[in-house]
């Protein structure tokens, strides 16, 4: 019973948000590295996508796991924001509260933009609903032409702008989130504290630069169909 109480407490919430968040960061890094194969040409990216599809057990376990982790992360984050809003600061706690409140509002705002972006992204590139003309193509080897649909997408300035907004939200969210999560999980050591603080911005820069490289290389015709 005590464990259920801890799980529902603010600190319990923060620990689960941190763990699920770090899991999602793992996906975002892995996804970016996979997508960078666009620079190697259609064969590399399409063969990689086909390899994932040829392992349906792995793919669906990973998809369902990812969805579960994302739902937990978002639901607990909403609960934490609502709880913080209800909390009434008194006396000396007011300054600290204001500081924490700016950080949590930034996380709530960038997290919400990110959620809208991911829903759009799934409709766009996975379901092909936002841009049916770019979907359902096959390459010369008979594989789904993931390379072709990504190139088609970022030749369009409207999609470039939407994805840039998503990258901005992702960058700000990650740079706050990673270091904060390490702190919440108590991963601290005097000798490495500066390194842990730098971990958030470093991961954010890595992921955002990787994704921006794909978007701009296509938009400026360096990578083409
Ligand atoms: C330039 C940036 C990005 C590119 C080029 C890209 C590309 C893609 C493509 C092509 C797919 C569909 C794969 C297929 O049809 O086999 C996909 C799926 C997906 N993307 Fe992205 N993506 C980008 C950024 C992101 C970001 C920032 C996130 C999350 C924050 C994300 C989350 C997902 C998810 C959850 C899926 C579904 C995975 C699945 O179906 O198994 N993507 N992405």
Give 135-194 pLDDT, tens digit per residue. 778 888 888 899 999 999 999 999 999 999 999 999 999 998 888 888 888 877 777 788
Question: Is 105 inside a domain boundary?
Answer: yes
> Does residue 134 register a pLDDT over 80?
no
Question: What is the span of the domain harbouring residue 102?
Answer: 2-219
In CATH, what number is assigned to the domain containing residue 71?
Answer: 1.20.1300.10
- CA–CA distance, 58 with 91 (Å, rounded to integer): 53
Question: Is 21 inside a domain boundary?
Answer: yes
Mean pLDDT over the full length of the chain: 88
Question: What is the sign, positive or negative, of the torsion defined by CA atoms of 149, 154, 158, 163?
Answer: positive
Q: What is the pLDDT of residue 110?
A: 96
Residue 139 alpha carbon to ligand 1 centre in Å = 19
Question: Is 97 inside a domain boundary?
Answer: yes
> What's the total number of domains in the chain?
1
Ligand 1 atom nearest to 117, measured from its CA: 30
* Shortest-distance Cα residue to atom 34 of ligand 1: 122
Contact, 76 vs 17, CB < 8 A?
yes
Residue 138, strand partner residues = 144
What is the per-residue burial (b if ≥16 Cβ within 10 Å, else e) of 133-159? ebbebebeeebbbbbbbbbbbbeeeeb
pTM equals: 0.90
Question: Is 113 inside a domain boundary?
Answer: yes
Residue 22 alpha carbon to ligand 1 centre in Å = 18
Question: Is 87 inside a domain boundary?
Answer: yes
Question: Is 62 inside a domain boundary?
Answer: yes
Question: Is 174 inside a domain boundary?
Answer: yes
Confidence grade of residue 2 (pLDDT, cut at 50, 70, 90): low
Q: What is the pLDDT of residue 81?
A: 85
Question: Is 40 inside a domain boundary?
Answer: yes
- CA–CA distance, 130 with 117 (Å, rounded to integer): 12
Per-residue model confidence as pLDDT tens digits over 76-95: 999 988 887 777 666 556 66
Residue 121 alpha carbon to ligand 1 centre in Å = 7
């Amino acid at each position: 019973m005590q464990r259920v109480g801890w799980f529902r407490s603010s600190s319990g919430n923060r620990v689960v948000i941190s763990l699920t968040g770090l899991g999602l960061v793992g996906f975002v890094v892995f996804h970016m590295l996979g997508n960078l194969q666009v620079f190697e040409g259609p064969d590399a990216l399409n063969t990689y996508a086909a390899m994932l599809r040829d392992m349906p057990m792995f793919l669906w376990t990973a998809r369902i796991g990812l969805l579960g982790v994302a739902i937990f992360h978002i639901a607990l984050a909403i609960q934490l924001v609502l709880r913080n809003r209800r909390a009434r600061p008194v006396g000396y706690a007011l300054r600290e509260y204001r500081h924490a409140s700016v950080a949590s509002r930034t996380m709530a705002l960038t997290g919400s933009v990110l959620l809208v972006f991911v829903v759009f992204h799934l409709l766009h590139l996975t379901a092909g609903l936002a841009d049916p003309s770019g979907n359902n193509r096959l390459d010369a080897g008979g594989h789904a032409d993931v390379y072709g649909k990504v190139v088609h997408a970022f030749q369009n300035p409207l999609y470039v702008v939407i994805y840039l907004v998503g990258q901005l939200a992702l960058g700000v969210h990650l740079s706050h989130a990673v270091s904060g999560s390490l702190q919440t999980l108590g991963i601290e050591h005097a000798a490495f504290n500066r390194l842990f603080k730098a971990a958030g911005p470093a991961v954010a820069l890595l992921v955002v630069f990787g994704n921006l490289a794909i978007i701009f290389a296509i938009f400026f015709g360096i990578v083409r169909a």
